[in-house]
Amino acid sequence: MPFNGRPKISSRTGTPAPSFPTTRMRRNRRTDWSRRLVAENQLSVDDLIWPVFVHAGDEPKVPIPSMPGVVRHSVEALVDAAGEAAALGIPMIAVFPHVEATLKDPEGSNAVDPDNVVCQAVRAIKAANLDIGVMCDAALDPFTSHGHDGLLRGEEILNDETVEVLVRQSLIQAEAGCDVISPSDMMDGRIHAIRTALDAAGHTHVQIMAYAAKYSSGFYGPFRDAVGSASTLGKGSKATYQMAPSNGDEALREVALDIAEGADMVMVKPGMPYLDIVRRVKDTFGVPTFAYQVSGEYAMLRAADERGWLDGDRVILESLMGFKRAGADGVLTYFAVEVAQRLRNG
């Protein structure tokens, strides 16, 4: 329809409604400086959390085949890696263990050993006086011989008994110097129990980032290779404690409970398939909200980049901007170091 020279009037506000050619949306996109000026979201190094893997062996870096470019660090090498991240301005690393099979048992006993590889790593990083936060996962799956996040009786994951172990695990991590405890187990009531125990032990400053909406997902496979739980879990399912991918309202109930129980920050995991949940959580609660760009997401992007199917430099940044646009205050991503380097270099 040809333009008749008269702008349309909004019936709601009584003001001229946007119309062509008076309004040209491309006008603000014409130059680089203008696009930057009107950008609604920004990605910065302050948005990045770097998940890292540590093992107790002497080999400095052990490659993880299903996650090209990602390694298991020795404790000493992890200190160096943390120093690199700190120098780039990355605010926090998240430490995950690879536990030797000989140390695994049905109860996950090594999880509560003050000299386990996680505690060794945390103490070493803190001794280096690096300006970076350290987050520790509270869950039993790297430590159990069955690969589940909780204690097992027959086919049942025991909730309350698992929480008792998670409390002990969180306390030794805090005593080692961990700044943020991040329960990823999805047991009911664990946030309240951990917060109460931390406060009673004098660790009132230790923060909790709850995996508040963690879905039973097929995107975790490479991570389970990295921590060594893939072979122990086998074809086992975590559907009785992790959330069903079909559910969104349930995620809001989970988040509400974790906040009420004392979580300082909440997380949605995985990331990309659940951006709608990130948006709903942020809009509903307005608390610090994070997303985990999980191992499967990393592996897909990395593999497509290596094969020339996607422009990796472009899609990695685009994927992270998607988290920001959805409302995430930060993202756990295995791309953190390379993204921080790119942001620094412009």
Measured CA to CA in angstroms, residue 308 lies from 222, 299, 318 at distances of 21, 14, 17
Nearest Cα residue to 99 out of 67, 142, 155: 142
Taken as a whole, the chain contains a residue count of: 346
What's at 75, amino acid-wise? Answer: V
What's at 248, amino acid-wise? Answer: G
Pairing of strands 71-73, 61-63: antiparallel
Catalytic residue among 214, 238, 282, 324: 214
Nearest Cα residue to 203 out of 291, 268, 264, 140: 264
339 in Cβ contact with 316 (< 8 Å): yes
Q: Is 269 a catalytic residue?
A: yes
Q: Is 8 a catalytic residue?
A: no
The C-alpha angle 204, 123, 132, rounded to 5 degrees, equals 70
233 in Cβ contact with 141 (< 8 Å): yes
Pairing of strands 92-98, 156-158: unpaired
Residues 6 or more apart whose CB falls under 8 angstroms from that of 131 comprise 86
Catalytic residue among 104, 238, 269, 324: 269
Alpha carbon distance 5, 81 (integer Å)? 63
Give the torsion sign (CA, 319, 321, 324, 328): positive
C-alpha 113, offset from chain centre: 25
Residues 6 or more apart whose CB falls under 8 angstroms from that of 219 comprise 270, 273, 294, 295, 296, 297
Secondary structure E strands in the chain: 48-55, 61-63, 71-73, 92-98, 133-138, 151-153, 156-158, 180-183, 207-214, 265-269, 289-293, 330-333
Residues tagged active-site? 214, 269
